[in-house]
Amino acid sequence: MATRSESASNTSRRGHLVAAHRAISLYPAEDSCLNITSGRAWVTLNQPHVPAGLGDIVLERGERLHVPAGAHLVMEPWQSGDALRFDWCVEPLSVAAPGRFAREVVAPTRELGHALGHVALAFGRLLRGVLGYGEFLVAGRGRVLSRFESNPP
């Protein structure tokens, strides 16, 4: 676990401690698991390559959070006067690594569905724009010229 602490964080026999009015910033190199052992945590998880990559989560005692490799996690106690204890463990490859089917079929299918959604949205906007000019396409110029704009013989 690569750690860049924005504040003090102590280690004890029961896990890691984040004191009141402090925060900790973690950059895991491997898929990991965050387990809250006491207190409530306000966690901000920034995941690269995820469209909505930044998310705030409040975790209670006993709750766990999967943190993928390459993510940036910032954590602080939820209430200002309380300390927070947590355990951090690296997940085994058999649990963390997706299967071949998920890697080679499910993920590309999800990406293709996302891309097709954007294409359908762009096509709808294009169609709405073209139909907005329907009166110009049917009537030629689209409006009748006033006597000041026309060029009488």
Tokens 């920034």 identify what position? 46
DSSP result, 93-122: HHHHSPPHHIIIIIHHHHHHHHHHHHHHHH
Q: Please give the CATH number for the structural domain made up of 2-96.
A: 2.60.120.10
Give residue-wise pLDDT tens across range 120-129.
Answer: 999 999 988 8
pLDDT at 141 over 60: no
Cα(73)–Cα(31) distance, integer angstroms: 12
- What pLDDT score does 123 carry? 93
Q: Where are the domains of the chain?
A: 2-96, 100-139
Q: 22-49 pLDDT, tens per residue?
A: 888 888 888 888 898 988 888 888 876 6
| pTM of the complete model | 0.48
